[in-house]
Amino acid sequence: MLEINKLSVKYDNIRVLHYISMQIRKGEMVALIGANGAGKTTVLRTISGLLKAESGEILFEGKDITKMSSHNIVASGIIHVPEGRQIFTKMTIEENLKLGAYLQRDRSVIKRNFEKVFSLFPILKQRLHQQAGTLSGGEQQMLAIGRALLGNPKLLLLDEPSMGLSPIMTQQVFSVLESLKKEGITMLLVEQNAYEALEISDRAYILETGNITLEGRSSGLIQDPNVKKAYLGGD
């Protein structure tokens, strides 16, 4: 479904991604794991068109999206839940959700997605007309995910959805991802919470200073001694 070939990305003159290649198949949940500054966010921002690649290509459903502008990439079905949530703090929760459905034309689909989001996150329904900035961090993350679901994603990009959340909130977010996975939504999950990410995902890539150093089935990687040492805090 998504194919990244020899992608490199620069900020100013510093190359932060070095010719990386990745594939995500339809219905798969793929984790991208790496330390701070490894380039995980850069990968996602390049996929969704916020950054331009220096070289290489990104294909989505066979179509080259490398040079497409972000609104066209969203229109093709790639929805990005950005790092730090990036909700519209001065707008209401309802408006945030409506913005998620900005490109959706089919009212019945919008309605169904609203109901789905409300059943996943009842708190959003209760506070529909409040300013989104008044939500707690965890609630804002739920809003960010809910907003993305209203975009009817074929491929969902999630950038550290558990960042800054309490353990309970983190569990809640992961159980939502679990149910989205069951629904068959294809996902690319960036996480520092490596153990959780490997538990939930089908396959994973390990990114180290802009290079993919390891890839494979998550169930295998979770046993890998190097991975254990570097990312799972074990031995």
Ligand X SMILES: Nc1ncnc2c1ncn2[C@@H]1O[C@H](COP(=O)(O)OP(=O)(O)OP(=O)(O)O)[C@@H](O)[C@H]1O
- Residue by residue, what is the 3-state secondary structure of 185-215? CEEEEEECCHHHHHHHCCEEEEEECCEEEEE
- Residues 13-72 within binding reach of other proteins (CB under 8 A): 48-50, 69-71
Please give the structure tokens belonging to residue 194.
């490596």
Judged by CB under 5 A, the stretch of 2-10, 54-62, 80-88, 104-112 that binds Mg ion is 80-88
Residues 6+ apart with CB under 8 A from 216: 203, 204, 224
**Interface of this chain with other proteins, residues 180 to 219, rule: CB under 8 A:** none
Nearest approach in angstroms of CB 47 to ligand X is 12
Torsion of CA 220, 171, 166, 134, to 10 degrees: 130
Q: Does 82 bind other proteins (CB under 8 A)?
A: yes
Is 170 near Mg ion (CB under 5 A)?
no
CB of 139 to other proteins, least distance (A): 17
Q: Which is nearer to ligand X, 11 or 102 (CB)?
A: 11
Q: Which two tokens stand for residue 34?
A: 């790496």
Q: Binding to ligand X by residue 161, rule CB under 6 A?
A: no
Q: How far is the CB of 132 from other proteins (least distance, A)?
A: 9
Residues 6+ apart with CB under 8 A from 71: 103
Per-residue contact track with ligand X, 25 to 64, x per CB under 6 A?
A: ---------x-xxxxxxx----------------------
* Residue 25 and residue 187 in contact, taking contact as beta carbons nearer than 8 Å: no
Gap between the Cα atoms of 224 and 200, Å rounded? 16
Which residues inside 36-55 make contact with Mg ion, applying CB under 5 A? 41
Distance CA 92, CA 110 (A): 18
Query: Which of 53, 117 has the CB closer to ligand X?
Result: 53
94 binds, among other proteins, Mg ion, ligand X, none (CB under 5 to 8 A by kind): none
**Which residues within the stretch 174-203 sit at the binding site for ligand X (CB under 6 A)?**
192
Q: How far is CA 187 from CA 29, 40, 67, 76, 95, in A?
A: 5, 14, 22, 15, 25
Binding residues for other proteins, rule CB under 8 A, total 25
Judged by beta carbon distances under 5 to 8 A according to partner kind, the member of ligand X, Mg ion, other proteins, none in contact with residue 136 is none
**Helix residue spans in the chain (DSSP H):** 40-47, 70-75, 93-100, 107-120, 122-126, 137-149, 167-183, 194-200, 218-221, 225-231
Footprint on this chain of other proteins (rule: CB under 8 A): 48-50, 69-71, 74-75, 79-80, 82, 86-91, 95, 98-100, 102-103, 147, 151
Footprint on this chain of Mg ion (rule: CB under 5 A): 41, 83
